[in-house]
Amino acid sequence: MKTDPKNTRKPLAFYYLIAMIVIMLLNALVFPALMSPHVTEVGYSDFLTMIEENRVQEVAMDTDQIIFSAADEEGETAIFKTGLWPDDDLVNRLKDSGASFAAAIPTQDSPLLSFLTGWIFPILFFVLIGQLMSRMLSKKLGGNAMQFGKSNAKIYVESQTGKTFADVAGQDEAKEALNEIVDFLHNPQKYKEIGASLPKGALLVGPPGTGKTLLAKAVAGEAKVPFFSISGSEFVEMFVGMGAAKVRDLFKQAAEKAPCIVFIDEIDTIGKKRDGAHGMGGNDEREQTLNQLLTEMDGFDGAKGVVILAATNRPESLDKALLRPGRFDRRIPVELPDLQGRVAILNVHAKNVKMDENVDFDAIGRATSGASGAELANIINEAALRAVRLGRDTVSQSDLEESVETVIAGYQRKGAVISEKEKQIIAYHEIGHALVAARLKNAAPVHKITIIPRTSGALGYTMQVEEEERVLMSREDMLNQLITLTGGRAAEEVVFDSITSGASNDIEKATSIARAMITRYGMSEQFGMVALETVNNPYLSADTSLMCSQDTSARVDAEVQKMIAQAHDKAVKILTQDRELMDRLTKHLLDRETITGAEFMDLMKA
Residues annotated catalytic, as ranges: 430
Q: Which residues contact 64 (CB under 8 A, 6 or more apart)?
A: 83, 84
- Measured from the CB atom, the residue of 206 and 488 that comes closer to Zn ion is 488
- Measured from the CB atom, the residue of 387 and 437 that comes closer to Zn ion is 437
- Measured from the CB atom, the residue of 314 and 439 that comes closer to Mg ion is 314
- Measured from the CB atom, the residue of 272 and 489 that comes closer to Zn ion is 489
The residues that bridge with 446 in the sheet, in sequence order, are: 464
Rounded to a whole number of angstroms, the minimum distance from the CB of residue 461 to Zn ion is 8
How far apart are alpha carbons 454 and 203 in whole angstroms?
38
Restricted to residues 320-379, the positions that interact with ligand ADP (CB under 6 A) are 345, 348, 373-374, 377
How far apart are alpha carbons 92 and 115 in whole angstroms?
37
Does position 169 bind ligand ADP by CB under 6 A?
A: yes
Phi and psi at residue 351, to the nearest 5°: -60, -40
Rounded to a whole number of angstroms, the minimum distance from the CB of residue 209 to Mg ion is 8
Task: Determine how β-strand 77-83 pairs with β-strand 65-71.
Answer: antiparallel
Pick the piece of the chain touching Zn ion (CB under 5 A) from 159-167, 186-194, 487-495, 593-601. Answer: 487-495
Rounded to a whole number of angstroms, the minimum distance from the CB of residue 506 to Zn ion is 4
**x/- map, 30-69, ligand ADP, by CB under 6 A:** ----------------------------------------
Restricted to residues 376-405, the positions that interact with ligand ADP (CB under 6 A) are 377
Q: Which of 492, 506, 559, 578 binds Zn ion (CB under 5 A)?
A: 506
Does position 208 bind ligand ADP by CB under 6 A?
A: yes
- Measured from the CB atom, the residue of 208 and 299 that comes closer to Mg ion is 208
Tell me the number of residues near Zn ion by CB under 5 A.
Answer: 2
- Whether omega before 259 lies within 30 degrees of 0, making that bond cis, reads yes
Q: Which of 66, 70, 99, 168 binds ligand ADP (CB under 6 A)?
A: 168
Rounded to a whole number of angstroms, the minimum distance from the CB of residue 297 to Mg ion is 21
- Measured from the CB atom, the residue of 139 and 413 that comes closer to Zn ion is 413
With residues binned 3-state (H G I as helix, E B as strand, rest as coil), the percentages for the chain, rounded to 5, are 55, 15, 35
Cβ 485 vs Cβ 477: under 8 Å? no
In our burial notation (b when 16+ CB lie closer than 10 A, e otherwise), range 146-168 reads eeeeebebeebebeebebebebb
Does position 229 bind ligand ADP by CB under 6 A?
A: no
Rounded to a whole number of angstroms, the minimum distance from the CB of residue 590 to Zn ion is 16
Pick the piece of the chain touching ligand ADP (CB under 6 A) from 21-29, 206-214, 315-323, 465-473. Answer: 206-214
The residues that bridge with 82 in the sheet, in sequence order, are: 66
Q: How far is CA 304 from CA 59, 193, 252, 368, in A?
A: 82, 15, 13, 45
**x/- map, 497-536, ligand ADP, by CB under 6 A:** ----------------------------------------
Q: What angle (nearest 5°) sits at the alpha carbon of residue 515, between those of residues 514 and 520?
A: 115
Q: Tell which residue, 403, 408, 405, 398, has the closest CA to residue 370.
A: 408
Rounded to a whole number of angstroms, the minimum distance from the CB of residue 266 to Mg ion is 6
Q: Which residues contact 206 (CB under 8 A, 6 or more apart)?
A: 212, 313, 333, 334, 335, 336, 539
Binding site for ligand ADP (CB under 6 A): 168-171, 208-214, 311, 345, 348, 373-374, 377
